[in-house]
Amino acid sequence: MSKVELVTEQIGQTIIAEINVAKSIYILTSFVMESGVKVIEKALKEAVERGTEVKLLAGDYLYITQPRALTRLLEIHPRLEIRLWHSKGKSFHPKAYIFETEKDSILIVGSSNLSASALTSGVEWSVKVQDHQEASSFEKATEEFMRLFYHDQTIPINVETIETYKDNYEKYRETNPLIVKEWTELEETELMIPEVKRANQPVQVSEGAKNYGDIHPRPVQHLALEALQQTQEEGYKKAMVVLATGLGKTYLAAFFAKKFKKVLFIAHREEILKQAESTFKHIMPSKMTGLYYGQKKDEKADFLFASIYTLGRTKHLKRFNPEEFDLIVVDEFHHAAANTYQNVITYFEPLFLLGITATPDRMDQKDIYGLCEGNVAYQLHFIEAIQKQWLTPFHYYGIYDETDYSAITWLGTKYDRKELLAVQVKVEVAEKVVEAWKKHRQTRTIGFCSSIEQADFLASYFVRQGFGAISLHSKTLGISRQEAIESLVEGKIDIVFTVDLFNEGVDIPSVDTLLMVRPTESLTIFTQQIGRGLRLHPNKTHCTIIDLIGNYRNADIKLQLFHGDIKEVDKKKGLIIPTVPTSCEFHIDVKAVDLLKELAKKRQPRKEQLYSAYIQLKQELGRRPTYKELHLNGSEHSIAYKQEFKTFIGFLNWANELSEKERKIFLRYESWLIEVERTSMSKSYKMIVLKYMLERGIEHWLNFITPKEVAPFFHKYLMGKTYRRKVDFSDKLTQKLWEYDEKKVAKLIATMPMIKWSGSSKGLVEFEDGVFRFNLDVEEADNSTLYKWTKEICEYRLAQHFEKNSENSN
């Protein structure tokens, strides 16, 4: 039985009492005041010190949260996790306190934010619900908390992010002195949109339930499985496979899982887990499967399918032995840069980790290559899949949109919701959308919108024009998602307008038309949406893509998707119109082309893009990232830093990230740093020699060496991993050296890295009379810093050289 209690005063005392006995504490508050932190900081500190998991999420809505309150929270204890929700102009008003004890779970929801008045003397009402630990309501509450806590709109609180928030806080306060009045007015503002007429309730059909008979890998899956087999043989323990939507990523994972005894499959949505479990059962019916997400759990299964938001919680994670699973599969791997995934991935020690995704993209901020150690075992872009007839061709129509987005406030990654809605929800805009759709559409359409209000408005307008239309989103009433899909499949309606429901994990092969009526803010999301229409279907010859192109930010980046290899597009050359496969068509209005060319010219300068990527990673880490970290986790390709600034340290100098002392050291030894960064390296030999010298420590790294001295380290390093041996030690000459022969290995070292490096270094590197040295006169006070920088570059270059990054299916 649940115990329900209404608390109308001194809620702080109740919260502190629960903090004192809790095993986990989750606090969700719209804002944090320093006065509120003072009330509970002693109890929180004691809780963390006794091993309690503590997570706190606050919002930046209207900059009510005080920077000094965040600083005070940060000082409580390093293990206290704090994140800040970027509201981006949308109201953020939750107030919830969740506690888990040895026996019970307590949920307190009400009106109390984290301020002294709310916790002590104010008039506040809160409902406290106490129940047994596994109660479904608490599992749901904690899972929803975790979704918010690790959402893309949150940032970790550390010294770096507090400083940035403080600057924004002060600027906002200067220009918005009447914050409380503004907050009240925003809460009372409501845009009234006509109710959408619903189609008649459809009969039950099931397009997804196909009888496949005996399951065998498709050709593309065969290629990916062979690549995974090869990457295992080469000694890698982590890999990513990138397959375009519609090529069977889940089936690939199931085929790969056949060779493992115990498998964990992780995803971020319940429906993806259920689909994956069904797929695995279909291929291996004799295996025991189980779901682990909130209320339903089965920990004894051979194949376990777990929600990341459940598994990411300490109490669930600790139920498993770190070595419990032989294989871990992370679905939609592009989400895995979020901290909740990283916590799980770093906890487990499987024989192999496989990440599968259709859309890895450094342009969408967080990168995922670091989580698989740069090892992309196999990759197939949807353009190549169309050429191989594994996906349906497309006919793209870029329609010029006269809507003016230039005056809409940009909030970092999205437009201001209220301002964007004001320009979208207009009859004249809807008229042009209908006109473009009628001209190019086929039979079954998904329309992608940027908000629930826009989806409702367009669905209502289409219905009034005599078409069958449904608005489908998280707040839709009267019809389920499955019923809406079935109505579209059966042809009972013409179009489903949605916001984010069809981005991932929903397959409707018969959809033959996509209507884009939202700004493209993310290439990843745009890729996912395109994938919804490219699945093969007997009654479909091609997919029609109707894309309204306005002067919104990032509009020009979407054309990169149709080039096949995004990395080959040189941004400095401006807009390039794609050349698509012969089975496809690409049409774009002249006005739209002119608009995109103009937008491309105005894009952020390259150096500023690199700086933004660096700052974002620095704020994620709370410190200056290393060169290797920037390479693996940054949102821009690391080679660009070398191209623009000659060295990573040169970039740090340009970005004012060096202290005055460091700046002088950089200028003094810049030629050396450039030499280490840019010396040609078809094989890894130069950096292995440098690594050996560095591993002798700060005091001795500049001492000379001989080929004979470095030979044991050199041989052990290359032979230590199969992939290193295969990449740099497998030609006719070096294969003979797999059995260690000191004299022959030393001769190779003398011939290859030492003589060659000496000859190309303009005197900075010297090899004479069998002795190898660097011609550097390093002052004692500079040695530690120069050693650290040299080591960073060396580690980066070795990581970059040996990472397996398959760019295509060849």
DSSP 476-545: --SS-HHHHHHHHHTTS-SEEEESSTTSSS---TT--EEEE-S----HHHHHHHHHTT-S--TT-S-EEE
By the 8 A CB rule, do 277 and 292 touch?
Answer: no
Q: What percent of the chain has pLDDT over 70?
A: 87
* Of 442, 366, 381, 364, residue with least CA distance to 245: 381
pLDDT tens per residue, range 198-215: 333 332 222 333 333 357
Query: Which residues on adjacent β-strands are paired with residue 514?
Result: 446, 545
SS (HEC) of 477-491: CCCCHHHHHHHHHCC
Least confident of 305-314, 328-337, 643-652, 776-785: 328-337
Residue ranges per domain, the chain? 3-188, 219-386, 392-601, 604-643, 658-802
Q: Which letter does DSSP use for residue 739 in this model?
A: S
- State the number of CA atoms in the 13 A half-sphere of 500 facing the CB: 9
Q: What is the model's pLDDT at position 370?
A: 63
pLDDT of 6 above 70: yes
- Fold of the domain built from segment(s) 219-386: Rossmann fold (3.40.50)
Residue 581: other Cβ atoms inside 10 A: 17
Burial of 744 (0-12, 13-18, 19+ CB in 10 A): middle
Does the 3-188 domain belong in CATH 3.30.870.10? yes
- With vertex at residue 103, the alpha carbon angle to CA 102 and CA 107, rounded to the nearest 5 degrees, is 100
At 548 the three-state DSSP class reads strand
In angstroms, the Cα distances linking 288 to 281, 304, 305 are 8, 9, 11
Q: β-strand 327-330 against 585-588: which pairing, if any?
A: unpaired
Q: Report which residue type is found at 106.
A: I
Residue 214: other Cβ atoms inside 10 A: 5
- Fold of the domain built from segment(s) 392-601: Rossmann fold (3.40.50)
Least confident of 38-42, 413-417, 638-642, 805-809: 805-809
Q: Do domains 3-188 and 219-386 have the same CATH topology?
A: no
- With vertex at residue 420, the alpha carbon angle to CA 472 and CA 448, rounded to the nearest 5 degrees, is 30
Which of residues 29 and 122 earns the better pLDDT score?
29
Helix (H) or strand (E) holding 469: strand 469-472
Burial of 739 (0-12, 13-18, 19+ CB in 10 A): exposed
pLDDT band at residue 607, thresholds of 50, 70 and 90?
confident
Helices (H), 655-741: 660-668, 670-678, 685-694, 707-720, 722-728, 732-735
Q: Report which residue type is found at 354.
A: L
pLDDT of 69 above 90: yes
- Determine the average pLDDT of the residues in 569-579: 59
Look up tokens 């770096």; give the residue.
Answer: 160
Helix (H) or strand (E) holding 667: helix 660-668
Q: What is the model's pLDDT at position 807?
A: 42
pLDDT of 454 above 90: yes
By the 8 A CB rule, do 265 and 329 touch?
Answer: yes
Burial of 266 (0-12, 13-18, 19+ CB in 10 A): buried
Tokens of 703: 């001492």
pLDDT of 803 above 60: yes
pLDDT band at residue 187, thresholds of 50, 70 and 90?
very low
By the 8 A CB rule, do 265 and 224 touch?
Answer: no
Tokens of 608: 């500023």
pLDDT tens per residue, range 491-514: 999 999 998 766 555 678 899 999
Answering whether pTM is above 0.85, one says no
SS (HEC) of 53-81: EEEEEEECHHHCCCHHHHHHHHCCCCCCE
At 764 the three-state DSSP class reads coil
pLDDT of 135 above 80: no
Helix (H) or strand (E) holding 452: helix 452-464
Least confident of 550-554, 663-667, 684-688, 797-801: 550-554
